[in-house]
Amino acid sequence: MKIDPNSSKDLSAQIAQAIRDAIIKGDLIVDERLPSEAELSEHFDVSRPTVREALKRLAAQSLIRTQRGATGGAFVNRLTFEDAYGQQITTSTLLLSMNAVSFATACEARYALERACAPLSARRRNADHLATMRAEIHRQTQEGLSDEAFCASDVAFHRALVDGAGNPVLSYQLAGAVEAMQPLMNMITFTARSRVRIITLHGNIADAIEARDPKGADAALIDLENYTIELAQDVMARRAGA
């Protein structure tokens, strides 16, 4: 691991990159302890605060964890699916909010990905996944449910559908797409009338998944996508009119 003292980049960025590369390359393996901050600062010939800035960069990406004390230090962290979910959601959310992505584009991406999971989920879902979907549908029918709670339940429903595919890599990929859409979805579910229709469409999806009917699940998702687009257009039109 070496750095170029003449580079224009920050030393801490270079050091972080050097360690990151070592982890990706496999020179540093999971749970391996990195040299202490003092040793690293000597190795790279920089001060301890600079090393610390580099380590914090890596910690922000969940690549390392630190522990205080005699046997403490920085350890290569096993990147869990849960960690990755969180980063994926944060990144996707900011990506959508900062880049003027049209509702149509985001919606298309989300349903395209979800439809990729549906056939697998129809084949492999277990009783738990189905029960979660039904429970969330039931929650959605409750009077007096706030828009936020309705949307959270919506996310949970789709999450169960995706998890039903039994493929953690797919679940990870979808987490960002589904959760990042929540703020946008919030806009279009605030009338009682649209809720009823959405719940019906959710029911159709659950029915198809229960019947282990891949084509039916796909068709039901397309229905939901079309209705979502329709609602969004209504909201846009109403907003433009007002």
Partner DNA sequence: CAATTTTCATTTGTCAGACATTTAAAAGTC
Partner DNA sequence: GACTTTTAAATGTCTGACAAATGAAAATTG
Alpha-carbon dihedral of residues 15, 18, 20, 25, nearest 10 degrees?
Answer: -170
Q: Is 45 in the site for DNA (CB under 7 A)?
A: yes
Nearest partner of 36 among 78, 74, 62, 76, judged by Cα? 74
CB 64 within 8 A of CB 55: yes
| Footprint of its own copies on 39-78 (CB under 8 A) | 49, 52-54, 56-61, 63, 78
Q: What, of its own copies, DNA, none, does residue 70 touch, CB below 5 to 8 Å by kind?
A: DNA
Strand partners, 73: 67
CB 51 within 8 A of CB 40: yes
Burial 223-238 (b: 16+ CB within 10 A, else e): ebbebbbebbeebeee
Q: Is 108 in the site for its own copies (CB under 8 A)?
A: yes
Q: What, of DNA, its own copies, none, does residue 108 touch, CB below 5 to 8 Å by kind?
A: its own copies
Q: Is 241 in the site for its own copies (CB under 8 A)?
A: no
Closest separation between CB of residue 34 and DNA, Å? 7
Q: Which tokens sit at 175? A: 């987490």
Q: Is 46 in the site for DNA (CB under 7 A)?
A: yes
The DSSP-derived string for 102-139 is -HHHHHHHHHHHHHHHHHHHHHH--HHHHHHHHHHHHH
| Footprint of DNA on 3-42 (CB under 7 A) | 10-12, 34, 36-38
Q: Is 34 in the site for its own copies (CB under 8 A)?
A: no
The SS3 call for residue 73 is strand
Q: What, of DNA, its own copies, none, does residue 74 touch, CB below 5 to 8 Å by kind?
A: DNA
| Footprint of DNA on 69-88 (CB under 7 A) | 69-74
Q: Which tokens sit at 161? A: 């559908």
Closest separation between CB of residue 225 and its own copies, Å? 12
- What is the size of the binding site for its own copies (CB under 8 A)? 56
Closest separation between CB of residue 78 and DNA, Å? 18
Q: Is 88 in the site for its own copies (CB under 8 A)?
A: yes
Q: Is 106 in the site for its own copies (CB under 8 A)?
A: yes
Residue with tokens 């009917």: 213
Q: Is 149 in the site for its own copies (CB under 8 A)?
A: no
Nearest partner of 193 among 242, 240, 234, judged by Cα? 234
Strand spans (E) along 48-150: 64-67, 73-76
Nearer to DNA, 40 or 224 (CB): 40
Binding footprint of DNA on the chain (CB under 7 A): 10-12, 34, 36-38, 45-50, 52-53, 55, 66-74
